[in-house]
Amino acid sequence: MSDFLHDFARRFASLDAGNLHRLGELYTSDVHFTDPLHEVIGLDALQDYFAALYANVEQLDFEFIGFDPVRDGEGYLRWVMSYRHPSLKRGRLISLEGCSLLRWNAEGKVERHRDFFDAGALLYEHVPLLGTAIRWLQRRLA
């Protein structure tokens, strides 16, 4: 189980805009992918989603920091994603911690991929006026 998670993480981290055709090696044709901002069903839709993601960032890297099997065919990956987007944080590097719940089949392909992360820390806090308002509100609530 842990071997699957380590192998998946290694292969996923090697993806970039030029090799997204390799998603089919990792995911089933009817994969169900969810994160706090999107829900995608099917390999073709997942390839489109990742193509748009890579087209809009200048850099995108994953460091996998935890491999937590739950049961046969299911486990969590903990990660730190680092990215640069020209419109966010003046193009400086942004890092975000998160985790992914993966469920895979007997052939070793992921059928369900659900990401958990703070969408505000990913995006909203780095938009010029919106980020200022969110940080002010966070301080008020603390």
83-125 residue pLDDT tens? 887 766 666 788 889 999 999 999 999 999 999 987 665 554 5
> Which residue blocks in 64-127 are alpha helix, DSSP H?
119-122
Contact 63, 82 (CB under 8 A): yes
Q: Is the pLDDT of residue 3 over 50?
A: yes
Residue spans of the domains in the chain: they are 2-117
Q: Tokens for 71?
A: 């049961």
Better-predicted residue by pLDDT, 32 or 125 = 32
- As a whole number, mean pLDDT of residues 69-75 equals 95
pTM of the entire predicted model? 0.81
Q: Please give the pLDDT value at position 56.
A: 78
Q: Is the pLDDT of residue 36 over 90?
A: no
Name every residue whose Cβ is closer than 8 Å to that of residue 122 and which is 6 or more positions away in sequence: 36, 37, 94, 96
Topology (CATH level 3) of domain 2-117: Nuclear Transport Factor 2; Chain: A, (3.10.450)
- Choose the weakest-confidence range: 56-60, 69-73, 102-106: 56-60
